[in-house]
């Protein structure tokens, strides 16, 4: 189904991608004959995260998905988790259903981490990655494993019983999102909320699965992070937000200084700069790269 929005002059196609009993909702942008690119959003966001950037990349075949538990996509079964590495199987399922043997990844934050895990596990499938304010998870110490598991089990029970937050109106939800952990403009918040909420009696609630709030049952240590980076040898362009997550700005440049395949550029803006004023500069750098015209 072709959809348009007065805020976005270029139309997109709504897609439902089904595989292995799972249903992933998506928006398809650009040229269906162009280079295939899968877009993965950040934690508690959805595919509307790319509404401002996608129209600036018209020559690629861009499919932006609602990842599991987000937006309008399926929620994992009650006996499953939202560990970050489980996204890899969904990436492969989506691209298989789309008929893409190899493809590139455009991703933000948590989606960028899922992209690295996919590229490290299946480097023959991923041609290049354009990443926004994220790449690797903070490495864990081996000694933290028991506490990590205990915390995850407790949180799974807690969030599994939690009902999504209720708002009296869509406007109230937009304001809550705009003033959340990562402050957003009203426009960016509205785009995410319109995609990521459902109407109920007396207002709206989030469509996200509350279990997404739980932590992973295990985390990668430094050697494992390095192993994924070693295997992900394809060209990578990484944009860091000047006013983004401090830990990322402090940790990543040193971690990546000897990796010639990863180019880093810092742009003005906050963590969601691709939804704000940073979209144009980002598209200028990412566009030729994702088309395969530059490394």
Q: Write out the two tokens for 199.
A: 């109407």
Taking the C-alpha atoms of residue 249 and residue 240, their distance in angstroms, rounded to an integer, is 7
For residue 8, what are the β-bridge partners? Answer: 5
197 forms beta bridges with 206
**Strands ordered across the beta sheet of 262-267:** 2-5, 8-19, 22-30, 60-65, 35-40, 103-108, 126-132, 236-241, 262-267
Which run of H or of E encompasses 137? none
- As a whole number of Å, the end-to-end CA separation of the chain is 34
Q: What is the CA radius of gyration of the chain?
A: 18
Spatial CB neighbours of 6, under 8 Å, sequence gap ≥ 6: none
What are the DSSP E strand ranges found in 68-154? 103-108, 126-132
CA distance 233 to 253: 17
Active-site option among 73, 104, 109, 197:
109
The closest of 42, 96, 101 to 67, measured between CA atoms, is 42
Q: Output the CA–CA distances (angstroms, integers) from residue 110 to 44, 67, 84, 86, in the order listed.
A: 9, 10, 8, 12
Tokens 């995609």 locate to 195
Confirm whether 23 is a catalytic residue: no
Q: Strands across the sheet with 203-206, in order?
A: 166-167, 203-206, 197-200
Q: Give the catalytic positions in this structure.
A: 109
């Amino acid at each position: 189904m072709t959809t348009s929005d007065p805020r976005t002059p270029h139309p997109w196609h709504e897609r439902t991608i089904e595989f292995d009993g799972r249903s992933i909702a998506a928006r398809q942008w650009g040229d269906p004959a162009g280079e295939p690119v899968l877009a993965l959003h950040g934690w508690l966001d959805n595919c509307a995260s790319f509404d401002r950037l996608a129209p600036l990349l018209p020559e690629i075949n861009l499919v932006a998905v609602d990842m599991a538990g987000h937006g309008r996509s399926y929620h994992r079964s009650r006996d499953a988790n939202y560990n970050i590495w489980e996204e890899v199987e969904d990436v492969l399922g989506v691209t298989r259903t789309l008929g893409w043997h190899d493809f590139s990844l455009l991703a933000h934050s948590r989606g960028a981490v899922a992209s690295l895990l996919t590229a490290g596990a299946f480097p023959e499938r991923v041609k290049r990655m354009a990443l926004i304010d994220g790449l690797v998870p903070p490495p864990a110490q081996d000694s933290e494993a028991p506490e990590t598991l205990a915390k995850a089990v407790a949180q799974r029970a807690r969030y599994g019983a939690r009902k999504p937050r209720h708002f009296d109106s869509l406007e109230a939800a937009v304001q809550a999102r705009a003033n959340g952990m990562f402050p957003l403009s009203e426009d960016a918040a509205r785009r995410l909320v319109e995609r990521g909420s459902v109407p109920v009696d007396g207002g709206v609630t989030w469509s996200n699965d509350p279990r997404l709030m739980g932590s992973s049952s295990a985390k990668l240590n430094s050697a494992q992070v390095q192993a994924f980076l070693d295997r992900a040898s394809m060209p990578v362009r990484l944009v860091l937000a000047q006013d983004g997550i401090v830990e990322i700005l402090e940790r990543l440049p040193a971690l990546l200084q000897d990796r010639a395949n990863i180019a880093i550029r810092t742009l003005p803006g906050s963590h969601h700069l691709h939804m704000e004023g940073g979209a144009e500069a980002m598209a200028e750098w990412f566009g030729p790269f994702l088309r395969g015209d530059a490394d």
